[in-house]
Amino acid sequence: MSFDVAPGERLGIVGESASGKSLTALAIAQLVPYPGQVTAAAIDLAGNDLPRMPKRALTRLLGRSLAMVFQDPATSLNPALRVGRQLTEVAEVHSGLGRRAARERAVAQLARVRLSNPGYRLRQYPVQLSGGMRQRATLAMGLMAEPQLIIADEPTSALDVTVQEQIVRLLRTVSDDTGAAVIFISHDIAVVGQLCERVLVMYAGRIVEDLDVAALRTDPAHPYTRALIGSIPDMTTSRTKQMVTIEGRPPDPAEVGSGCAFAPRCGHATQLCRDMRPDLRPLGTNGRRRAACWFPQHADADNGDLLGASQGAPR
């Protein structure tokens, strides 16, 4: 897959579990666990070619320029260390600040992520914070250096809706203020639509559609994107109709043949789709919109029936 994110841009990546969203994030951060291997023509962060950098320089660069927020804040904070120590360490190691300056910076960053009473929070252990507060603290830790890219992998999935809204607002404010680019990974299309300007839809390890959030709302082109949106109830879904379901289940990435990975579940699939995989090609004339489909859909076609009818085998 290929994509780029501009400074200050917020890019969403959506897809079902095992579609490769998280591995994409880990590949950027050079964190793919053994025995996984990353091959890339280029992974470029602000002019640095990450895979070909010496290990030391890479660690220094990523420590300064990349912030990551994961789904489970309990695992990204060290439970045995006070919050303050975990924050100041970043500034001491990566920015060479002294203890006092690092502490001041930590207080400032905790205030920036709107954690109440920052001086007190510094002395607390992660267990003493609620889930939302831990997520704020993790983000503050990422902001201790000067990140150019913030990768947030399902940062709100373990949180309540009210807290989720606050974290999404916070990410938006932080990227507006610092000019950092954001890659926001989520299975929840509605949340992505609130935060991001652009969305990548992933299926079986590939990007199947790359589109603006506005287009996601009104006119997704790939049948999978349409099916995904149709299968999520929102506050306007008809209560008398059955939910749209997607027949079958996502393929094992190892089992995808030469055709389109979504073809077995797609209501529009033809022999062509089963035989040959469509490339991710530019769609239309305006902007960067791309789709990997032989038969991209339009808003006026098959209205209301996003999948081309499907009520099928149980999953």
Partner 1 sequence: MTTLHIEDVSVRYGAGPTAVLAVDQVSLTVPAGGVVGVVGESGSGKSTLARAIVGLAPLHGGRIMWDGAVEPKRWLRRRPSRAQLVFQNPYASLDPRLSVGATIGEAVASRERLARKAQTAEVGELLDLVGLPARYASMLPRDLSGGQRQRVAIARALAARPDVLIADEITSALDVSVQGAILNLLSSLREQLSLGVLFISHNLSVVRYISDRVAVMYLGRVVENAPVEHVVQEPAHPYTRVLLEAVPRLDVPLDPAPPDVDSEPPDPHHPPSGCHFHPRCPMGPRVFAEREICVARDPSDGHPERRHAAMCHFA
Q: What is the DSSP annotation of 208-233? A: EEEEEHHHHHH---SHHHHHHHHTS-
The answer to the question of residue 72 lying near partner 1 (CB under 8 A) is no
For the CB of residue 133, give the shortest distance to partner 1 in the complex, in Å.
6
Phi, psi of 116 (to 5 degrees): -70, 145
Q: Facing residues of 221 across strands? A: none
Contact stretch for partner 1 (CB under 8 A) within 43-51, 67-75, 124-132, 288-296: 124-132
Q: Which amino acid is at 253?
A: P
The answer to the question of residue 2 lying near partner 1 (CB under 8 A) is no
**One character per residue 266-285, x = contact with partner 1 (rule: CB under 8 A):** --------------------
The answer to the question of residue 219 lying near partner 1 (CB under 8 A) is no
The answer to the question of residue 41 lying near partner 1 (CB under 8 A) is no
Q: Facing residues of 151 across strands? A: 68, 183
Could you tell me how far CA 14 lies from the centroid of its own chain? Answer: 7
Whether residue 35 is preceded by a cis peptide bond, meaning omega within 30 degrees of 0, is yes
CA distance 93 to 96: 6
The answer to the question of residue 108 lying near partner 1 (CB under 8 A) is no
Residue choice 6, 232, 276, 301 for contact with partner 1 (CB under 8 A): 232
Residue choice 119, 233, 257, 284 for contact with partner 1 (CB under 8 A): 233
The answer to the question of residue 38 lying near partner 1 (CB under 8 A) is no
To the nearest 10 degrees (0 to 180), the angle between helices 83-95 and 131-142 is 10
Q: Identify the residue whose tokens are 């929840």.
A: 188
Residue choice 116, 270, 279, 282 for contact with partner 1 (CB under 8 A): 116
Residue choice 33, 42, 47, 234 for contact with partner 1 (CB under 8 A): 234
Residue choice 2, 75, 78, 130 for contact with partner 1 (CB under 8 A): 130
Bridge-based pairing of strands 198-203 and 10-14 is: parallel
CA distance 65 to 59: 10
Q: Which residues bind partner 1 (CB under 8 A)?
A: 16-17, 114-116, 130-133, 136, 160-166, 168-170, 172-173, 187-191, 193-195, 216-217, 227-229, 231-237, 239, 242-246, 249, 314-315
